[in-house]
Structure 1
Amino acid sequence: MGNITPHAEPDHLVVTAASLEQGMAWVEDRLGISMAPRIGGEHVRLGTHNALMSLGPGFYLEVIAINPEAPPPSRARWFALDALPAGAAPRLAHWVARTGDIHAALQASTIQPGIVEEMSRGKLHWLITIAADGALQCDGALPSLIQWQSEPHPAAALPELGCRLERLALEHPQAQRIGESLEAIGLRDHRIALRDAPAARLSAAIATPHGVRVLD
């Protein structure tokens, strides 16, 4: 028997911010949707905390920031949070792809997104790729890989807000290499649009009850 091609699909969008409050306010302003009451928690190991918003079954948006009340971690924080300048504006910085076999997907990927780390938050347990220096591979255009080890998926616990991802546009000077890596891990989703461009840029068109709004 030949090797089985891995399968992956979009899991969540990542908005980084200098503070959780600023990030949530930015999302609410852009989408016209309230994130209150906050649903999320703390990542004790990495000194961060987050807030989640449903984008439909099996998919959500995460706002993440350094937790000012947590002690500094012994390693670099994920999602390049250590590199955020003071007062940095919130932005759509990254996205994460879900797979049923993270080790197989990592081996198949033609661009390495990091090493597999064990993470947990409350009753949630998962494996995720994180670069040793916390940086985002390909400026955030290449997704981190995640494998959930607990059930149900986090999106199942989030209120239905009538929001859905319509399109995730990825622009990058190495778009072809990124596309080859997505193909290698079995990620084929009509909502993902990859385009060659002089500089990296991510933008998400999200259908809301108020019409289509854009996060970038």
Structure 2
Amino acid sequence: MPYRIDHLVISAADLQQGKEWAEGLLDVEFGPRGVHPDMGTQNHLVAMRPDAYLEVIAADHDALRPDYPRWFDLDNFGGPPRLTHWVVSCPDLEEAWELAPANVGRILSFRRGDYAWRMIVPETGILPFDDCFPALIEWHSTRPVHALADAGLLMRRLKISHPEPDALRAALSPFVAAMEHVRIVQSDTPGLTAEISTPSGEIWIA
């Protein structure tokens, strides 16, 4: 299995608010709520063709807060829901860790119901290149996208803006198989923007 985009992440301060915002923008319904007890987070998912999904995620303030920063820097998230991260699936996470920037994080194992995976989680909660470098994941079970109904979404491309685009391209060069639909551009402000085909037409989500 080559490196590939596994899913895109919409962060929210409140999960229900994030879900309603994403559903209104994309004209789709997300799946049921899921929880990550080890991280104190909760989410909703929706499938995107050809083989990825979109995740709305927020801190679960009713759950026990972990002794370490939550993934995707959710401890410090504020403002309206927005696209904040992308996740790349890896065939060998140790190899990916060796190829990634030195501050990418540590390998942790997770299980939720029938799903099992390992993921590289930054110890600060913040991924390299101002969160523009992807989170890296290795599935030890079927991927959630296989259980999600086709919602009529198609991911066309992901645009990554960063003040140091050449350095980011160099850091991503070992993962070129996941870059087919990715474009990196110069910008003073780091960020992600995704073009997605929806039942109502083409939209950009940021």
Whether the TM-score (by the shorter chain) exceeds 0.5 is yes
Q: Within 5 Å, which residues of 2 pair with 1:47-196? A: 47-85=40-78, 88-110=79-101, 112-151=103-142, 153-196=143-186
Q: Is the 8 A contact 1:7 1:186 kept in 2?
A: no
Superposition deviation, residue 96 in structure 1:
0.3
Any unmatched runs of 5+ in structure 2?
none
Alignment-mate amino acid for residue 28 of structure 2: I
SS of the residue corresponding to residue 63 of structure 2 reads: coil
Matches within 5 A, 1:12-51: 12-35=7-30, 38-51=31-44
SS at match of 1:185: helix
* Contact 1:31–1:214 (Cα < 8 Å) also in 2: no
* TM-score, normalization by structure 1: 0.90
* Cα distance in 2 for residues equivalent to 1:166 and 1:58: 12
Match of 2:6 in 1: 11
Q: TM-score of the superposition, structure 2-length normalised?
A: 0.94
Structure 1 alignment gaps of length 5 or more? 1-5
What is the alpha-carbon distance in structure 1 between the residues aligned to residue 166 and residue 106 of structure 2? 23
Identity of aligned residues (%): 33
| C-alpha displacement of 1:138 | 1.7
C-alpha offsets along residues 46-74 of structure 1, whole Å, 9 cap, x if unaligned? 11111000002430000100112101112
1:44–1:120 distance in 2 versus 1, CA, 3 Å = same
Contact 1:15 1:91 in 2 (8 A): yes
Q: CA deviation at 1:160?
A: 0.5
Say yes or no: does 1:207 pair with 2:197.
yes
Deviates more, 1:47-56 or 1:131-140: 131-140
In 1, distance between residues paired with 2:85 and 2:175? 17
Number of residue pairs the alignment of both structures matches: 206
Q: CA deviation at 1:132?
A: 0.7
Pairwise CA RMSD: 1.6
Which has the larger helix fraction? 2
Q: Equivalents in 1 of 2:53, 2:130: separation in Å?
A: 21
Kept after mapping to 2: 8 A contact 1:111/1:181:
no
Offset at 1:135? Answer: 1.6
